[in-house]
A and B are shown apart, each in its own frame.
Chain A
Amino acid sequence: SQTIHQWPATLVQPVGSPLSLECTVEGTSNPNLYWYRQAAGRGLQLLFYSVGIGQISSEVPQNLSASRPQDRQFILSSKKLLLSDSGFYLCAWSVNREYGYTFGSGTRLTVV
Chain B
Amino acid sequence: KQEVTQIPAALSVPEGENLVLNCSFTDSAIYNLQWFRQDPGKGLTSLLLIQSSQREQTSGRLNASLDKSSGRSTLYIAASQPGDSATYLCAVPREKLVFGKGTKLTVNP
Contact = CB atoms under 8 A, between A and B. Distances in A.
Interface string B54-98: 000000000000000000000000000000000001010110110
Given A43-B101, A98-B51, A103 B96 contact: no
- Secondary structure dominating the interface of A: strand
Interface residues of A, number: 22
B41 A108 contact: yes
Contact of A100 (B32, B42, B94): B32
Looking at chain B's contact residues, the main secondary structure is strand
Contacts of A88: 41
Nearest to B101: A43
A26 interface: no
A110 to B, nearest CB: 12
Contact of A46 (B44, B97, B101): B97
Nearest to A41: B101
B46 interface: yes
Contacts of A59: 96
A106 B42 contact: yes
Interface in A31-55: 34, 43-44, 46, 49
B43 interface: yes
Contact of A90 (B43, B51, B101): B43
Contacts of B42: 105-106
Contact of B44 (A90, A94, A98, A108): A90
A34 B96 CA distance: 9
Contacts of B94: 97
Contacts of A102: 46
Nearest to B33: A100
Interface of B: 31-32, 34, 36, 41-46, 49, 51, 89, 91, 93-94, 96-97, 99-102
